[in-house]
Structure 1
Amino acid sequence: MRRPLSMLLTAGTYVLALIYFSPVLWLLITGFKQEGDAVAMPPSLVFQPTLDNYRLIWDSGAGSFMGHSAIVSIVSTIFALAFGVPAAYALAMFKIKKADDILFWFISTKMLPAVGVIIPLYLVFKQLHLLDSLTALIVLYTAMNVPLVVWMMRSFFKDIPYETIEAYQVDGATGLQGFFKITLPLVRPGIVSTSLLCLVFVWNEFFFGVSLTSTDAATMPVYMSSFMTQEGLFWAKMSSVATLAVLPALVLGWFTQRQLVRGLTMGAVKG
């Protein structure tokens, strides 16, 4: 009885995975179609594949837009970790007055709708001459991801017994030495999972990108929206751009899946 049940569950898992992956698969297929085939109804899997869409978007500067997204995502994630990890460590390991209020303030910043702050942000960056610059996006995305880093990393640090800190203090290590050489290696899976989530959030962010940039610092989501014109939607070209945008996240998730799963389950015991 166990073997048929196991086979049934395995088959059901594959079917469910295929259902979830089907939009990405259809996106990939559409990117190799001509515009006429892409909008044909009913859709067909039989068509003459072409690389024209990829040649066109690459010649039109898709590489530079992808570079902007990569720079903004990586740098803002590094800064968010640099600010958020020590804060999470302090909130998890030490008795701080009104720690719960501090945590609530962090998470409350995520509740604010983006459209409610875009006008003051636009005016501030305009006064600082930072509109359409990577610096503006890096500063903004760092601030957006710090609360996420604090909340996630705090749960990972809470899994480490406080006796660990006392042990390396008894051995003569300073607080910074123990933090970098002992504590951080213990939460490495949590850092990997948190970093990946920050990267994905920044990579996919569209609203602030389209509001604060135009050409010099536009990211992949902004570039993708350029194929939504008054003449209509260029589905094949949009699918090609979307495929290029999705691939880095898929590849990164594939190679870090073991650390990602360990990290997401590591902080699930203590809150």
Structure 2
Amino acid sequence: MSTTAPRRRVRRGSSLGLVAWLAGIVFFLPIAWMALTSLHSEADAATNPPSFTASLTLDGYREFFGSGGGASPWPALINSTVASLVSTLCVLLLALPAAYALSIRPVRKWTDVLFFFLSTKMLPAVAGLLPVYLFAKNAGLLDNVWLLVILYTSMNLPIAVWMMQSFLAEVPVAVIEAARVDGARLPVILARVVAPIALPGIAATALICFIFSWNELLFARVLTGVVAETAPVFLTGFITSQGLFLAKVCAASLVVSLPVLAAGFAAQDKLVQGLSLGAVK
């Protein structure tokens, strides 16, 4: 009996590890397929079934970056970067004190406040599209990247407050009380006490807000034109009446996905810590 239980645990751990690897491979296959297709010529990419022995080329990437006389993707990439980074920074600056008030210094009926924040995400985005468009038109903000910053900040703020409230609830109150006894004011407590302790949770929240902002298409498609065009809107321009250029689309999709993949890879340790914060005490 003493040797049977450890063997069962080893077998169970091996089975779970195998399932995890299989799940990872399944999720990775579409990205690998897209990367392989982007390295084929348009003729080879259009074959059905696809040819795995076809010669590789970088023509799809050259055409995406405008070597064939097409539009340059750099303005769209820069717009997406500015809108995503600035809105994420604004969300963190606003969500941190709000989450502090709802967790460490709870207000009355704070659960109702959180549910109100979450209820704002239940409204279909298309339902608010016309009012936002009319406001932007009357305010002269159409095709303006700063309008996207304001929209992405307001769209991501409720979920950021919800997430960070659970993270900040795990900050020891004794540490905050000690800082308050030493004469630290609220901005100092937030910046030098609360933020370093809740850094994994803040990083997880920032990454999710960045991904949501980077991938947003509906408002960017309607409210922008040429000046403030974002990367997802730029991708829709590859679907034309002339047909779908599969290799070029895959190359463009991979390039547009790289910032999100790089951010997730760089912050993967903080992301895991943040998403598991409070799970084990």
| Coarse TM-score class (shorter-chain normalised) | over 0.9
Partner of 1:254: 265
Q: For 1:10 and 1:90, locate their aligned partners in 2 and report how far apart those are by CA, in whole Å.
A: 41
Q: Name the SS of the counterpart of 2:165 in structure 1.
A: helix
Which residues in structure 2 correspond to 1:144-155 (within 5 Å)?
144-155=155-166
- In 2, are the aligned partners of 1:38 and 1:235 still within 8 Å (CA)? yes
Q: Per-residue displacement from partner, 1:201-228 (whole Å, max 9, x unpaired)?
A: 1111111111111211111111111111
Task: Select the residue among 48, 64, 69 that pairs with 1:57.
Answer: 64
**Shift of residue 5, structure 1, vs aligned partner:** 5.3
Describe the SS at the equivalent of 2:142: coil
TM-score by length of 1: 0.94
- Aligned partners of 2:170, 2:30: CA distance in 1, in Å? 37
1:27 alignment partner AA = M
SS at match of 1:173: coil
CA contact 1:190–1:267 (8 Å) conserved in 2: no
TM-score normalised per structure 2: 0.91
Structure 1: runs of 5+ lacking an equivalent? none
Computed over aligned residues only, the root mean square deviation of the Cα atoms, in angstroms, reads 1.7
1:132 and 2:143 correspond:
yes
Q: What amino acid maps onto 2:97 in structure 1?
A: P
- Name 1:172's counterpart in structure 2: 183
User: Which residue, 107, 112, 124 being the options, matches 1:113?
Assistant: 124
Q: Post-superposition shift, 1:9?
A: 3.9
Residue aligning to 1:219 = 230
Residue 162 of structure 1: which of 162, 166, 173 is its match?
173
- In the superposition, relative to structure 1, how do residues 154 and 269 fare at CA in structure 2: closer, same or farther (>3 Å)? farther
Could you tell me which amino acid in structure 2 is paired with residue 58 of structure 1?
F
- Kept after mapping to 1: 8 A contact 2:100/2:165: yes
Partner in structure 2 of residue 245 of structure 1: 256
1:34–1:50 Cα contact (<8 Å) kept: yes
Which residue of structure 1 aligns with residue 48 of structure 2?
A: 41
Distance 1:116 1:4 in 2: 52
Conserved 8 A contact 1:73-1:202: yes
From 174, 192, 195, the equivalent of 1:181 is 192
Choose the corresponding residue for 1:17, options 4, 7, 24. Answer: 24
CA distance in 2, matches of 1:39, 1:230: 17
Partner SS for 1:155:
helix
Residues 76, 138 of structure 1: 8 Å contact kept: yes
Displacement after TM superposition at 1:162 (Å): 2.3
Q: Percent identity?
A: 40
Q: How does 1:187-206 map to 2 (within 5 A)?
A: 187-206=198-217
Q: Residues 205 and 221 of structure 1 are in contact (CA less than 8 Å); yes or no, is this contact kept in structure 2? A: yes
Q: Distance in 2 between matches of 1:7 and 1:265?
A: 23
Deviation at residue 169 of structure 1 after TM alignment:
1.6
Alignment match of 2:245 (pick from 227, 234, 239): 234
Structure 1 stretches (4+) deviating beyond 3 angstroms?
Answer: 1-12, 267-270
Q: What's the CA shift string for 1:89-111, capped at 9, x where partnerless?
A: 11111231232222122111111
| 1:56-87 CA-partner distances (Å, limit 9, x unpaired) | 11112112211111111000000111111111
Q: Structure 1 counterpart of 2:213, which letter?
A: V
Equivalent pair of 2:97/2:190 in contact (CA under 8 Å): no
Structure 2 gap ranges (5+): 1-6
C-alpha deviation, 1:3, in angstroms: 5.2
Which one-letter code corresponds to 1:167 in the other structure? Answer: A
Contact 2:86 2:149 in 1 (8 A): yes
